Amino acid sequence: MVSKSDPIIIVGGGAFGLSTALHLAQKGYTNVSVYDKDDHIPPAAISAWKTPLFAPYFHQTGFLHCVSGEAPEKAVGTLNRFRASAERNSQIKPHVVPIQHSEDARQACWQLDGPMAGWHGYLNRFDGYAHSGAALAGVYRAAQAAGVRFFLGERNGAVEEIVYVSKLEGKKAAGIRTKNGRFHPSSLVIVAAGAGVGRLVPQLGQTVVAKSWSVAHVHLSDEETSALRGIPVTYARDLGFFFEPDPKTNLLKMCPMGGGYINTDPKTGVSHAPESLKESAFLPQEDETQLRKLLAQTLPSLADRPFVQKSLCWFADTSDSDFIIDYIPGMSDSIIVMSGDSGHGFKMFPIVGSWVTDMLEAPGAQQPVARWRWKQPPSQGKKGDWGGDVSWRVGETKELAAILPPKASKL
């Protein structure tokens, strides 16, 4: 068992890693270090992420949750399940109002002046969104103030590998090696590397799939930003969503919804996030079409505007959409993996780290919640499960190689 003064290394300063750093420091662990290959927190890519339910970065603007008139049955089913779940909660139920047609949607939000043909669903005034970039930056400052040390950037923060030693009782993690070649010892390594987990923990095999969805922005004028102040998170399950533009940048952030993109290594069958962010800096054509449809239905004056700050955002997906937060078996409790955020991990930012401190203090080193336990990877050679059956996803998962934009011709 780790003691409060033992060195603990966290690989990754994203939502899972930062939350854990803060909870460890608050519980009195005094030698906690976070390593991240990015040179600032939040990393550039993360600031593009939209997140719900988290104060003080939370904005309770409401959640207009619908399907368009052309939505497939699966999307309607998901919508109804979300709605039933909101209505089961006695605190939330009074805030839920039905949206039966586009006129109701316009009543709920006068700024939406598009046709919203066939839209129906509900408005939940209890919901809203959290500003993920600001929240990460705030918790980064709080963790630093609580004594957590940070090693950032490609030279000092990028972790090349976990270093193991062989003991009588089996293999054990002894620490990490950073890209600059230095070894850093620790009693416990916590891997919270997001979509980068597969390179550090190959034992996961195909249980975790690096997958991406796109994000794009429309740059608004001061007046347009001001006019959209306070709009609810507007979500058509079959198209995508947007929310209040950021008054600091005048950017309206949008995410199309679909099956996502993977990047499978043909040799191993495992999908990894591309090494460089540059390869993800585009918006696939089909997603652009979908976002323009969403704008034409809701905010038609913006439907033909150029999209800026386009990128694919990578996350760690599992076939059942459940997290994996557990010790790696056979390593004498020396390494914990926090993975499988499955594209819905940020909402847990305030508490996900406490699941790790609870695990460290519980007798018998095992994740108490069965669905978050380590899962044995499927046998090699079998086709991976890309989560296509996950109930809340609409659309097919595609290979990144198949949708890359054509390279600019030199001629």
Ligand X SMILES: *[C@@H]1O[C@H](CO)[C@@H](O)[C@H](O)[C@H]1NC(C)=O
**31 scored as a contact of ligand X (CB under 6 A):** yes
Residues 337-356 that bind ligand FAD (CB under 6 A): 341, 343-347
**CA 182 to centroid of chain Cα atoms:** 30
Q: What SS3 state is found at 274? A: coil
**What is the smallest separation between the CB atom of 31 and ligand X, expressed in angstroms?**
4
**17 scored as a contact of ligand FAD (CB under 6 A):** yes
**7 scored as a contact of ligand X (CB under 6 A):** yes
**What is the smallest separation between the CB atom of 38 and ligand FAD, expressed in angstroms?**
4
- Residue 47 binding partner per list ligand X, ligand FAD, none, with a CB distance cut-off of 5 to 8 Å that depends on partner kind: none
CB distance 2 to 362 below 8 Å: no
**What is the smallest separation between the CB atom of 104 and ligand FAD, expressed in angstroms?**
24
**What is the smallest separation between the CB atom of 312 and ligand FAD, expressed in angstroms?**
8
**Choices 32-40, 63-71, 99-107, 280-288 (CB under 6 A): range interacting with ligand FAD:** 32-40
Cα(188)–Cα(177) distance, integer angstroms: 14
**157 scored as a contact of ligand FAD (CB under 6 A):** yes
- Residue 192 binding partner per list ligand FAD, ligand X, none, with a CB distance cut-off of 5 to 8 Å that depends on partner kind: ligand FAD
Q: What SS3 state is found at 373? A: coil
Residues in Cβ contact with 206 at an 8 Å cutoff, skipping those fewer than 6 apart: 269, 270, 377, 378, 382, 384, 385
Cα(209)–Cα(211) distance, integer angstroms: 6
Which of 52, 207, 44 is closest to 131 using CA atoms?
52
**252 scored as a contact of ligand FAD (CB under 6 A):** no
Q: What SS3 state is found at 234? A: strand
Residue nearest to ligand X (CB): 7
CB distance 47 to 132 below 8 Å: yes
- 226 vs 17, 183, 196, 326, 369, CA distance in Å? 35, 51, 38, 45, 45
**102 scored as a contact of ligand X (CB under 6 A):** no
- Residue 31 binding partner per list ligand FAD, ligand X, none, with a CB distance cut-off of 5 to 8 Å that depends on partner kind: ligand X
Using CB under 6 A, pick the residue from 94, 98, 185, 247 that binds ligand X: 185
**240 scored as a contact of ligand FAD (CB under 6 A):** no
**201 scored as a contact of ligand FAD (CB under 6 A):** no
Cα(190)–Cα(203) distance, integer angstroms: 15
**What is the smallest separation between the CB atom of 136 and ligand X, expressed in angstroms?**
25
Which residues in this chain contact ligand X in the complex, by CB under 6 A? 7, 31, 185
